[in-house]
Amino acid sequence: MKKYFFINLLIFLNGFLYAECYDLTSQAECEYWAGLCEWNEDTNQCEGVGGGGGDGGEIDYGPYQYEYLTESDGIRLSTLYNGTLLYYPIDAESPYASIVLIDAFSDEYGLQTWAQFYASHGFIAMTIGNFDPEDRDLDLAGWDYEDRAIGLLDAVETIKGENTRDLSPLNGLIDTSSFAVSGYSTSGGGAHIAATMDSTLNAAVLLNPAVLFLDSLNCTEEMAYYCLIEEHLNHEVPVLIYAGENELGELAIGYDSVWAPVQYDYVPETTDKVYFESAGQGHGSSYFPVGEVGDYALYWLNYYLKDEQN
């Protein structure tokens, strides 16, 4: 049986993702997604609306210059994610704590702005790409939330490998005990699953996350055995969860139980957690580290990865 419920959610999201407005080639298509996308008359291109981040501010980059590495530079190859950009700061105080990020559906460039933001503040920030299920010779449900989680955790091992790779500019500069994971939308769900799989993670930053677990014991056949119940999110990894005030109104009816508010409620009260809702924003509210969205994420990583108390 095809995982119809999961596929429907992925197809719906893939149709309007904030990061993919540029894929809409006509003004009519662009205007269909008004509120998420807008047509630029000067360039004749469809663009994402605004930035996200509630207060409409700018991205507050840090004091450090940064460089990046790819697999062509000698980084370990992986079959568990599809490409990577590993950003690292220049002349920041080492050893460096790290965060791994994955966009909802796109390649390793999807959350590049977040990675650059973190690197400018002294973190290693590694983006990884999603697989196209067809390229993996799988059905449409062959790249799900858990696959993203496994990819994120494997990327942590890739970063650790740079600490001992002879030709790596990061040799001996990595804190191999300080890691966070992050993802947007369905991959925010993947990051949340990663938190349930690996208790050694120091933190998770979930950008407008959606999540479902494959669970044949507690989920129904009608839902193709995907669902979300409180027991699924019983973990101790500190989570910062972003949402937009208007998010649920933008999304498909019937999927309310997969988004940020429910996830926040299901995380145990004994686990450190924060719910950040951007006023007047929708599903793209945290796609860029704009204003307080970026500030809170930076505070979160500084506190849980660097033990900074201020």
- Give the chain's domains with CATH numbers: 4-17+60-306 (3.40.50.1820)
Q: Which two tokens stand for residue 85?
A: 């950009």
What is the structure's pLDDT at 14?
44
pTM of this structure: 0.83
Helix (H, G, I), strand (E, B) or coil at 127: strand
Beta strands in the chain (DSSP E): 37-40, 45-48, 66-69, 84-89, 96-102, 124-128, 174-184, 203-207, 213-214, 226-227, 239-244, 273-278
pLDDT digits (tens, 9 = 90+) for 274-309: 999 999 999 999 999 999 999 999 999 999 999 988
Low-confidence ranges of the chain (pLDDT < 70): 1-24, 29, 31-37, 43, 47-57, 133-142, 252-255
What CA–CA distance (Å, rounded) separates 191 from 28? Answer: 34
The answer to whether the beta carbons of residues 89 and 120 sit under 8 Å apart is yes
**C-alpha of 133 from chain center:** 19
pLDDT digits (tens, 9 = 90+) for 224-262: 899 999 999 999 999 999 999 999 887 765 667 899 999
What CA–CA distance (Å, rounded) separates 210 from 218? Answer: 18
pLDDT digits (tens, 9 = 90+) for 204-220: 999 999 999 999 999 99
> What percentage of residues in the chain have a pLDDT greater than 90?
70
What CA–CA distance (Å, rounded) separates 107 from 155? Answer: 14
Q: What b/e readout covers 71-95, taking b as 16+ CB neighbours within 10 angstroms?
A: eeeebeebebbbbbbbbbbeebeee
